[in-house]
Amino acid sequence: MDLPKHDRYDYSALCSRPDYSWPGGKRLAVCIGNNIENFAFLAGLGSDGTQAGAPQSTRNYAWRDYGNRVGQWYMFDLLDEMGVPAAHNVNSMVLDECPEMVERIKARGDEVVGHGRTNAERQDVLPEAEEAQLIADSSEGIARHFGKRPDGWLGPYLAQSPVTLDLLKEAGYSYVLDWPADDQPFWMRTRSGPILSVPYSIEVNDSPALVFRQHSAREFEEMMIDHFDEMMVQSARRPLVYSVVLHSFIMGQPFRLRAFRRAMAHILRHREQLWITTPGEVARYCASMPAGLIP
């Protein structure tokens, strides 16, 4: 039986890879991915906090809009208190609508990752030319506000067409977050050369966990802590990337933010042993390493 396959990367068993360490001899990198998104009113795609697949409504639009109006500002304040960097996966249309957010991200010195134009749409259903235009629009929108195009990409809904990686490489992107196949970075093939996949969790991720699987905030706190503690043990054998993924309209709710605060307090007790960084820094470090160390 022949199954459809891709040619983007070869199989690589974790146990057979070369060993290396992160900067300063650290073994576990910690990355916080924060999604800043916007949506169409009563149209397009969008999550619903009470029912999977619910139609677009005033209620679920306002619930998501809470993230940009309120929840994100709680999250910025908490990240400041903890002294922790973040990578913001940004729909480019948000930046025109929420100028204060641009200034806060600049002041923090955080990374901005391309995340499409809006989460009201997906790119994997578009013809190649239209998908290339979506990527260009997103890149140019971010560059207009931040003075540079992003290095990394996360597609809305982590959706890719058969040519997305090729289009991203040709648009100047050096890494992607859409392939949750590993706890280490790995190189992927495109028609124009390699692009790096950096780990990005869809398990320790508040959207599938809290919205779609209806886990509680305390369960998510336990997930964060258990995932971290086990990766600390595993990282003694090999370098790993721990990522936690947030959305301001989900984790920015105060009762959930309290659980996130407790989980981060646990993680940061090990701060001296960790490389607390961003996926862009991980990608740059990997690109600087001798050929063959990164599969």
| Number of separate helices (H) and strands (E) present in the chain | 10, 9
Cα distance between the two ends of the chain: 28
pLDDT for 169 equals: 98
pLDDT for 52 equals: 84
Q: What are phi and psi of 78, to 5 degrees?
A: -65, -40
pLDDT for 53 equals: 86
pTM of the model: 0.96
Both tokens of 279, joined, read: 């996926």
Q: What is the pLDDT along the chain (295 residues), one digit of tens a residue?
A: 999 999 999 999 999 999 999 999 999 999 999 999 999 999 999 999 998 889 999 999 999 999 999 999 999 999 999 999 999 999 999 999 999 999 999 999 999 999 999 999 999 999 999 999 999 999 999 999 999 999 999 999 999 999 999 999 999 999 999 999 999 999 999 999 999 999 999 999 999 999 999 999 999 999 999 999 999 999 999 999 999 999 999 999 999 999 999 999 999 999 999 999 999 999 999 999 999 999 9
Q: Tally the C-alpha atoms within 13 A of residue 272's C-alpha that lie toward its C-beta.
A: 0
Domains annotated for the chain, with CATH where assigned, are 21-39+55-287 (3.20.20.370)
Sequence letter at residue 275: W
For residue 83, give the DSSP letter.
T
Asked whether 76 and 108 are in contact (CB, 8 A), the reply is yes
pLDDT for 110 equals: 98
Residue pointed to by tokens 């073994």: 27
Q: What angle (nearest 5°) sits at the alpha carbon of residue 209, between those of residues 208 and 211?
A: 65
Q: Which three-class secondary structure string do you get for 54-80?
A: CCCCHHHHHHHHHHHHHHHHHHHHHHH
Residue 170: which of 206, 194, 188 has the closest Cα? 194
Segment (H or E) for 268: helix 254-268
